[in-house]
Structures are given as structure tokens and as C-alpha cells.
């Protein structure tokens, strides 16, 4: 395996859509603050508070739609564990959602998987690690090459299985 010690570069361009459920709201608030500080263009697609219990697939789908509608854009989804949001998002062809709670996975999901959607669990990690993960994810480029071939294959297999576009 290639080295993982790549230095994060400058922030990659593109709008970031962000969404959460009630369990991810606290972490989302911190990440939105960070994105403002970094002057990243963002679309906050809810939810709007932690008080009301909401259904994560509904908020996840808003971010999935935003990312699929604007090539080159990216999304961040946060629920309690990150599991529901990542299961949901990865059902849609063209979405490569990575659940990351450490920096190694964050670097590799960009370098090898070109993850266009970052998922975190607001009940799993604290705000400082969450912010470091976002900074790393936004500044680590895709390696391309053989990894692009594998991503092309992945999309091809998903479309063969379900030509309508939705992954199984
Ligand atoms: C909500 O209680 C919780 O189930 C949700 O945030 C998420 O963790 C689901 O996977």
C-alpha cells in the first residue's frame, strides 16, 4: 500500500451541502462554524434543532440530491452513529459516502475512494476531532489512476444491477 503521510494541500473547490438529524445537530453546528471560518461555500439543509426527533433518511436525501445535482460538489452528513446516514447515502449511484471517525480513514477515503460525501456520528466523536476530519477531508486530493478504474467499475456494476440509477 502507498504511504498515507500525504500532506493535506489547500482546500479543494466546490460547494459543500451539509445535513443531519437531531442526533447530529450539535456536531453539525460546530462544522458549519468551521466551514464559515474556512470560507467554504455551503448549503445547510437541516435539520434545524436537536429537540425534535426527525427521520435521518429525509435529511440525508436532501444532501444526496444536492451533491448529485452539482458535479464537483460534496456533502457532509451527521447522525448519531453515522451508520444510518452512510447506509442511506450509498444506495444512490454516484454517491461515495465514507463514514470516518479517524484521520487515517479520512485521508484514504479521499485518496483511494474519492469520497464525495463524508459521514460522521455526533454521538461517537467530539467536535475537535470532527473539525480535524472535515479539514483533512476537504484538503486531501484523490490519487486517480488505478483507483479511478475501480470507481468506474463500481458504478458500472451498480448500474447493471439497477439501470434506473439507484444502487441496491
Ligand atoms: C437516532 O436516534 C439515531 O438512530 C440516528 O441518529 C442514527 O444514529 C441512525 O443510524
Q: What percent of the chain has pLDDT over 90?
A: 82
Check whether 166 has a pLDDT greater than 60.
no
DSSP sequence for 63-105: HHHHHHHSTT-EEEEEESSSHHHHHHHTTBTT--EEE-SSHHH
CATH of region 16-161: 3.40.1400.10
Q: Ligand 1, from 81, 91, 99, 123: best to mutate by most atoms within 8 Å of Cβ?
A: 81
pLDDT value, residue 7? 55
Note the pLDDT of residue 165: 53
Is residue 20 part of the annotated active site? The answer reads: no
Q: Domain ranges in the chain?
A: 16-161
Identify the three-state secondary structure at position 118: strand
Q: H or E segment at 30?
A: helix 25-37
Amino acid at each position: 500500500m502507498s504511504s498515507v503521510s500525504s500532506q493535506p494541500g489547500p482546500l479543494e473547490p466546490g460547494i459543500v451541502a451539509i445535513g443531519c438529524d437531531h442526533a447530529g445537530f450539535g456536531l453539525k453546528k460546530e462544522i458549519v462554524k468551521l466551514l464559515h471560518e474556512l470560507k467554504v461555500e455551503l448549503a445547510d439543509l437541516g435539520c434545524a434543532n436537536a429537540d425534535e426527533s426527525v427521520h435521518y433518511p429525509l435529511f440525508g436525501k436532501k444532501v444526496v440530491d444536492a451533491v448529485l445535482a452539482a458535479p464537483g460538489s460534496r456533502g457532509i452528513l451527521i447522525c448519531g452513529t453515522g451508520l444510518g446516514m452512510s447506509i442511506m447515502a450509498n444506495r444512490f449511484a454516484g454517491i461515495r459516502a465514507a463514514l470516518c471517525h479517524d484521520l487515517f480513514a479520512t485521508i484514504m477515503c479521499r485518496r483511494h475512494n474519492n469520497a464525495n460525501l463524508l459521514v460522521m456520528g455526533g454521538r461517537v466523536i467530539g467536535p475537535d476531532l470532527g473539525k480535524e476530519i472535515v479539514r483533512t477531508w476537504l484538503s486531501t486530493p484523490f490519487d486517480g489512476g488505478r483507483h479511478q478504474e475501480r470507481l468506474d467499475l463500481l458504478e458500472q456494476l451498480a448500474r447493471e444491477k439497477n439501470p434506473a440509477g439507484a444502487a441496491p
